[in-house]
Structure 1
Amino acid sequence: MHHKTMVLVAPSLHNMSCSHPRFDPDVWRSMDFSGSLQATIVLILTVGVLAANMMLILIINSRKYSKYIHSQPRYLLTSLASNDLAMGFFVTPFAIIPSFRRCWPYGELLCQIQALLRGAISQQSAVILICMAMDRYMCMLHPARYHKHSSKKFHFQGCVAIISLTWILSVTLFAALALPKGGYYFNPTGMMACEPFYSHASVRILAACGFYFPTTMILMYCYGSAFHVNKLRLRKAGCNVIADPERITVTEDIAESKVLTHERRLSASASRTMAAISLGFIVLVTPWTIQEVVAACTGSRAPQPLDFFATWLALSNSFWNPFLYWLLNNQFRRVGREFISNKFFCKKSPSKPQHFVSNSSSCQIHHQQGCDFERLSEKYWGEILERTLSATSLNALQKSGSHPRMDGCNGMQRGGGCGGMHRETRDISLPDL
């Protein structure tokens, strides 16, 4: 028995145009409460997407924040924020008027472009999330190889090549689906804008599952493996420290160990934030995917409030990405507050007094300025500890402290200096450890 495949036909855009006689030309008369509420939600979400992603791009590429993130995560996060920014510029604003009028006022050409961008940007964002997960997987499972072969030029070229290739593939795929006649339609219940139209239910299911399931599986595998290995590595390091506590000594390699610790802390922080962004994607897109699969299998359409909620919950992922990054990254919040206060409120951050002065012979710490050791960077902590606890540094400090007014001193006492030292020469002292 031969079964014919059901071919669906896109609804005519002319019948859904605001110029059609069945639509009231009076905008204010045609408004209702549900339409006004939906238009308000779309407007607030659009403004939030634009503001949040613009702020993320500016802060994450600022000079103050560059020391807290490696180049490749910065490129990937910038690309993801640029995609979300494009969604806020070219897709979501065009749904504000149709939200309360239930018609498309912008013409057929813009509907085609809208459908193309709606599919291509969403698919490209999913690909960037996969690239972020694979980058964190390599960084946390193979840190030596990752940092050995990483350089700014390599990272930039690799990221640009991957992002460009995936953009070309995404645009080509959805251009073939959405640009032909009948490949796009105005969705008056969910998107409130134009979307790609699939003439076969199987193609619609394949598009929804291809967008959701490969992305979800790769994200869960990469981050799950990375955090599991990192947990085992930390547990092993802790056991080694407990087994042989005498190995913890201050050596000349302390600066290098501090750098490695700092690098691992940056990698772990970036991995946690990216994992949270990926988890947010999974949570927000899951209802929309289920709705698409059920609607394609049953040949029906979800109720209008449910369709609107599921669609715009998935689109709100563009807003929650910067919010999660702000919420989970302390350094980003600190730099962000300084950036906002400087740019928008014209408040310049007070210049910090220079507590640390280093030269070849001694480390001078001025008590009059109140040196705060916790605010010194880890770069200087290694040098402070090395020079403070080194016997040769003590001898050099003792020799440099011999002054004509200090001839009566045979040695330097801890904390108070010698009794015969003149009060004006007590600039140099050792901190209590």
Structure 2
Amino acid sequence: MIQFISFNVMWTTIVVTVCGNLLVIISISHFKQLHTPTNFLVLSLAVIDLLLGGFVMPPIMARIAETCWYFGELFCKVHLSSAVMFSTASIIHLSLISIDRYFAVCHPLRYKTMINAFLTVSLILISWILSAILGFIILFLELNLKGLDEEYIQKIKCVGSCFLVQNEISGLLSSLFSFYIPGFVMICIYMKIFSVARRQARSIRDTAHQTTEEKRSAASSKRERKATKTLAIVLGVFLICWLPFFLCNVISPLVNHMIPSVLIEFFTWIGYMNSTFNPLIYGFFYSWFRKALKLIAFGKIFQSDSSRTKLFTD
């Protein structure tokens, strides 16, 4: 009974992950008003979440449900490499988003000249390439197994198993560079952003008489701050979801991999559920996303010139 419930929960999670992120991709791709540097990063992050939900989560669900891996050693390496690649790409994208928000809120006059579509797309491509290299090189060259006892390696690589096992150095360095250091830096950036945003909000509120241009600038500033707050929540959810796994990733090699594999798999699944939560956050906090969903649901995106529909006022 418990296995049946867990299977249905995992299957529902996969469906929500794929469908939710697909809606984000369609919304940003279709509506021209959403073609901004920030949303290009959000779009790329949604593609990562979609691929993780569609290609990484199902094999894990099958392994957990059947308590065995039936897809062979090669696909196991591809599967684990893809998981590392998407996780790394996520943290890089969140880092880029935090930098984008920093310039949008703290340096609004320089933002449009410094952050443009070409720069954003170039950074997105670089992040995908670096993540792919990191994910596949480590696993296929078995750098994560260097220094481990040969007998132990044979034990963990037995038929029917597919786990990401790392030595002390690999576990520590991968966790530091993929989670702890970027997470700490992003938290510092967002704290700085919110400090500046509060000062801006206080300054606008204290100005009794505003011209039309000032009111427009104030509305734009308010929208930027709201977008920053939403993306900070996305960052927070990412850190909360992945923290248990990365704690295990550091501790497990130090205790000779004594942490139960079931617990590690559970924490891994919680980490992957971050890809499920992101589109739900967009739907809850972004009015433009809710409006886009209505247009998609009623098929209005197939009407001529629907891509120019205004989802929010400038």
- TM-score bracket, normalised by the shorter chain, equals 0.7 to 0.9
Please give the alpha-carbon distance, in whole angstroms, between the structure 1 residues aligned to 2:99 and 2:274: 20
Look at both structures and tell me which one has the larger radius of gyration over its CA atoms.
Answer: 1
CA contact under 8 A between 2:28 and 2:35: conserved in structure 1? no
Tell me which moved more, 231-240 or 312-321: 231-240
Question: Which runs of 5 or more structure 2 residues have no equivalent in the other structure?
Answer: 146-152, 304-311
Tell me: CA distance 1:302–1:378, structure 2 relative to 1, closer, same or farther (3 Å): closer
CA distance 1:324–1:186, change in 2 (3 Å) = farther
Q: Secondary structure at the match of 2:298?
A: helix
> In the alignment, does 2:105 pair up with 1:140?
yes
Q: Tell me what 1:61 maps to.
A: 29
Q: 2:233 aligns with which of 269, 276, 279?
A: 276
User: What is the match of residue 126 of structure 1?
Assistant: 91
Aligned match of 1:173 in 118, 134, 149? 134
Q: Which amino acid aligns with 1:231?
A: R
Alignment counterpart, residue 169 of structure 2, candidates 182, 202, 206: 202
- Residue in 2 that maps onto 1:78: 43
Deviation of the 1:48 alpha carbon:
1.4
CA contact (8 A) 2:7 2:65 kept: yes
Q: 1:333 to 1:174 in 2, by over 3 A?
A: same
Q: Distance in 1 between matches of 2:272 and 2:238?
A: 10
TM-score, normalised on structure 2? 0.84
Which is worse superposed, 122-131 or 36-45? 36-45
AA matched with 2:294: R
Which residue number corresponds to residue 193 of structure 2? 226
Partner of 2:309: none
Q: Out of 182, 187, 191, which is 1:215 matched to?
A: 182
**Secondary structure of 1:338's aligned partner:** helix
Q: Quick check: 1:260 aligned with 2:217?
A: yes
SS in 2 for 1:299: coil
User: Equivalent residue for 1:46?
Assistant: 14
Report the CA distance between 1:143 and its aligned residue: 0.4
Aligned residue pairs total 296
Matched letter for residue 283 of structure 2? W
1:409 alignment partner in structure 2? none
Secondary structure (helix, strand or coil) at the match of 1:270 reads: helix
> Which letter maps to 1:325?
Y
Which amino acid letter does the alignment assign opposite residue 239 of structure 1? D
Cα RMSD, aligned residues only: 2.9
Distance 1:197 1:159 in 2: 34
Is this contact kept in 2: 1:42–1:95, CA < 8 A? no
Q: Which segments of 5 or more consecutive residues in structure 1 lack a partner in the other structure? A: 1-32, 242-246, 349-376, 380-433
1:339 equivalenced with 2:306 (yes/no): no
2:68 to 80, 83, 103: 103
Structure 2 match to 1:302: 259
8 A Cα contact 2:179 2:246, kept in partner:
yes
- Partners of 1:291 and 1:197 lie apart in 2 by 11
Deviation, structure 1 residue 238: 2.5
Return the offset for 1:209.
2.6
Identity %: 22
Residues of 1 paired with 2:155 and 2:279: CA distance?
Answer: 28
Q: For the residues of structure 2 that align with 1:319 and 1:301, how far apart are their CA atoms?
A: 30
Call closer, same or farther: CA 1:301–1:42 in 2, change over 3 Å: farther
